[in-house]
Amino acid sequence: MGIDEVLFRRILIMLSFKQAYINAINQPAGFDFRRISCDFQPGKERVTVDGKVLVGWEVFMFKSNLGVQRREAIVEEIYQCCALIYRGWPNGNRWNWNSNKGDMDESLNFLKVDQIVKAYDGLGDGKRKLAHYKAERRKRVAAENAERERMEHQGGVQSIPMPPQAATIQAP
């Protein structure tokens, strides 16, 4: 591996950790990555968020090779992945660096679907968000249907104001 490949892989490790952490604490996409500082020296891993050391997490770092369909060919693509589980340990984190096929099967084999769903509901209040999304969608569909009915009664004519920049005509 050349120096550029090593640097690129380290950047991907850092970005995958930051994205996994932001997802784990249920922050929006606009969360500032600069608030998270990472030092991934083997055996001395340290992460700070807003200057405070992050503790209590189990971290799984691994590469995933996937066969992806690109037009008529299957192409192997390599992804850097990170999974975080909050354990609440008071003195540190546990780091699992897996690069061999099958390592993650052993590491994550204890997870069950109902545990994942329960954790998601607890962290992100998933049921409430899903209910809110469905209610908003119903409102939007009802408004679209009402507008469609109104247009059918008016013969399909609707006036749409032109945006100011579209109404400007330049003289020759």
Q: What percent of the chain has pLDDT over 70?
A: 65
50 vs 69 pLDDT, higher one: 50
- Residues in CB range of 107: below 8 A, 6 or more apart: 60, 96, 98
Q: Which two tokens stand for residue 58?
A: 């189990």
- Tens-digit pLDDT profile for residues 115-140: 555 555 555 555 666 677 677 778 88
The domain ranges of the chain are 3-108, 112-151
- Residues in CB range of 13: below 8 A, 6 or more apart: 40, 61, 80, 82
Radius of gyration of the chain (CA): 25
CA proximity to 44, closest of 95, 4, 115:
95
Most confident of 1-5, 32-36, 85-89, 147-151: 32-36
> What was the pLDDT predicted at 167?
37
> Is the pLDDT assigned to residue 107 strictly greater than 60?
no
> What was the pLDDT predicted at 55?
93
Do 48 and 54 meet the contact criterion of CB atoms below 8 Å apart?
yes
> Is the pLDDT assigned to residue 164 strictly greater than 50?
no
Cα separations in angstroms, 37 against 95, 136, 140: 16, 37, 41
Ramachandran region, residue 37 (left: φ > 0; alpha: ψ -120 to 50; beta: rest): beta
Average pLDDT of span 16-36: 90
Cα angle, residue 31 at apex, residues 77 and 24 outer, rounded to 5°: 65
